[in-house]
Structure 1
Amino acid sequence: MNPTLLTVGATLICCVLAVLGIRTYASGSAQRAALIARLSETGEGGEGGTGGRRRPFRGIDRRVRRTAFGRKLELRISATGLDITPGEFVVSMAATVAVLWITGQALLSPFFGPICGFLGLWVAMGFLNWQRQKRIEKFINQLPELSRILANATQAGLALRMALSLAADELEAPAGDELEKVAQQLAVGTSVDEALGELAERLPSRELVVLVTTLVLANRAGGTVVSSLRNLTETLEERKETRREVRTQLSQVSLTAYAVPVIGVGSLLLIDNMQPGALDRMTGSGMGQLAVVIAIALYGVGFVAIRRFSKIDV
């Protein structure tokens, strides 16, 4: 065979394959972009958020999502169940910091402006943690009912995937919403281990880890999953009552942790009201500023220490 013809033929085949590859890649990219746009409009994901409404600050949201902080923030917001995007949260946090900064300068002294601004950052992130923890608590309270539904569905002969879908339809939020995400992941080919593992990462708790471990082991090795879920249901009910009793006993201690710094801030406002300009004179010198910083640090240490003492893992 003529080597020239062989070379020309191989070159033509390579060119045809290259054109087909580029066309396939372009088609896939277009389909992916269309899917993201559709999900953004319907609220299933992406930048559009939930509710099908047009989101404000979309440009800021895109820039925030590209950063490592934005990706972590998106995961934290998704665990809270709030109808807000990372861009909206960043804008709200910046507005809160600006308002507290200006308020601190106006009511106290210019020295307290940056301190109040930093307090705004702490309040914003603390709000997310509080919402996330509240959602976790609600989910934990629903775990006994979830375990009972899974046990009944499994005993009726349903597969674990169908049992999870049934539980998603039966339970209210947040358990219903979280299990709906798991069911959607299973529908697109995600394994049961991965889907349940992501659920445990979004809403970390000892009770959920035990339930996920039980379901994963039953899915891998089979066995008496019904009896295991029955026993787990009773255990979760007992832990639920124990957690409620412990939280009731420690409610006064938790309130003290928040009352102590509030008393300190109230004292500053009272001093400035009794002697106008006292805070300006106090923070006008280096020793006064150092004393304020040390006092704020001590209040922070006291708050953390009281919270640690009142935190009992059940």
Structure 2
Amino acid sequence: MNPLIALTLGATLLACVLVIAGVHVYLAGRAQRAALIARLASDGAPEPAGRRRRFPGVDRRLRGTALGRRIERKLAVTGLDLTPPGEFFVYMLMSVAGIWLLAASFLAPFFGPVAGLVGVWAAGAFLDWQRARRTERFINQLPELARILANATQAGLALRTAIAMAAEELEAPAGEELARVADRLAVGHSIEESLGEIAERLPSRELVVLVSTLVLSARAGGALVGSLRNLTVTLEQRKETRREIRTQLSQVTVTAYLVPAIGLGSLLLVNLMMPGALDRMTGAFLGQSAVLVALGLFTLGFVLIRRLSKIDV
């Protein structure tokens, strides 16, 4: 055999072996990485008893994207059972598809994509609403939290021990957040870093004041018990003020949601009285433009009413 041919065959065979070995190593590393991500996710957010994790394949692929990481960060502060971002993403797609089909069936095919976009926006708004709701519940527990910390500190307990005790006595979400702080303190994190994480997860002025009081006391010393007693009274007063404001603005809040509901009801009424009217109207560019402008005005009204009714205390 010609030496050149033998050398070529040998080099080709060696290249094939190296390619096969490289592919094998790549697939093994990818499988190990996916297993590690799944194990860390299950350790960081334990599933409820008797509940099986759904859509693991979608979840593994989604966690490696910016969208998946963003959904995971939002889900972490909502307190929902939908811990894996893949599960929420699949449910969102199913809901958007259902809304698309309903809008296209009851109104007109033109409203299908519009309803799909509204469904995607509604999914993000739902997560924001859950976060705001959990933050509100946490703010309502702050007076009791400050009282427990003051009593424990007055009894001679260290601040770390007082936080761990408060985590056991308080219900969710304060109990869960303080348990996370106690775990971070147990592995060597500073009080400022551990409490600052709560302020980032559940932002509020009341929590910032409480965290600042605890951090300054731990750093420079001082009358922590007296500060916490005064802070408890202040938090109770702010809690009552927020409740009164929310009661006074309840009618405005209902109005904000009635504005788009009236627009949707008008479309359904028109299509009911004149079957096929929406199909004919959205079949032309002028009709489509008019519908989009009307939807934009309804959305603008909703946003303006919500913005005007938002009062920071």
TM-score range, shorter chain: 0.7 to 0.9
56, 66, 69: which one pairs with 2:67? 69
Deviating 4+ runs (over 4 angstroms):
33-36
Structure 2: distance between partners of 1:164 and 1:233: 16
Alignment RMSD, CA only?
1.7
Stretch deviating more after TM superposition (186-195 or 239-248): 186-195
Confirm or deny: 8 A CA contact 1:75 1:202 kept in the other structure.
no
Confirm or deny: 8 A CA contact 1:64 1:87 kept in the other structure.
yes
Cα deviations by residue, 1:205-237 (Å, 9 ceiling, x for unpaired): 110011011111111111111111111000000
Amino acid at match of 1:290: S
Matches within 5 A, 1:223-234: 223-234=222-233
TM-score by length of 2: 0.86
Structure 1: distance between partners of 2:178 and 2:87: 26
Q: Which residue of 1 aligns with 2:52?
A: 54
Structure 1: distance between partners of 2:288 and 2:164: 59
Structure 1: distance between partners of 2:193 and 2:64: 24
Question: Counterpart of 2:222 in 1: which secondary structure?
Answer: coil
Q: Which residue of 1 aligns with 2:196?
A: 197
TM-fit CA distance, 1:50: 4.2
Q: Which residue of 2 aligns with 1:94?
A: 93
Q: Which residue of 2 aligns with 1:16?
A: none
Q: Which residue of 1 aligns with 2:210?
A: 211
The answer to which structure, 1 or 2, has the higher relative contact order (CA under 8 A, 6+ apart) is: 2
Q: Which residue of 2 aligns with 1:160?
A: 159
Amino acid at match of 1:97: V
Amino acid at match of 1:82: L
Q: Which residue of 2 aligns with 1:251?
A: 250
Structure 1: distance between partners of 2:289 and 2:152: 64
TM-score by length of 1: 0.85
Structure 2: distance between partners of 1:93 and 1:64: 14
TM-fit CA distance, 1:310: 0.5
Cα deviations by residue, 1:5-53 (Å, 9 ceiling, x for unpaired): xxxxxxxxxxxxxxxxxxxxxxxxx9xx77973x65xx5426x644474
Amino acid at match of 1:68: A
Aligned length: 279
Structure 1: distance between partners of 2:47 and 2:63: 13
Structure 1: distance between partners of 2:283 and 2:143: 59
Q: Which residue of 1 aligns with 2:5?
A: none
Confirm or deny: 8 A CA contact 2:38 2:60 kept in the other structure.
no
Confirm or deny: 8 A CA contact 2:107 2:271 kept in the other structure.
yes
- Gap runs ≥5 in structure 2: 1-31
Structure 2: distance between partners of 1:52 and 1:36: 18
Residues 59 and 34 of structure 1: CA distance in aligned 2, closer, same or farther (over 3 Å):
closer
Confirm or deny: 8 A CA contact 2:100 2:113 kept in the other structure.
yes
1:78 aligns with 2:76: yes
Q: Which residue of 2 aligns with 1:45?
A: 44
Amino acid at match of 2:124: M
Q: Which residue of 2 aligns with 1:179?
A: 178
Confirm or deny: 8 A CA contact 1:150 1:229 kept in the other structure.
yes
Structure 1: distance between partners of 2:36 and 2:284: 61
Question: Counterpart of 1:90 in 2: which secondary structure?
Answer: helix
Structure 2: distance between partners of 1:62 and 1:161: 36
Confirm or deny: 8 A CA contact 1:146 1:167 kept in the other structure.
yes
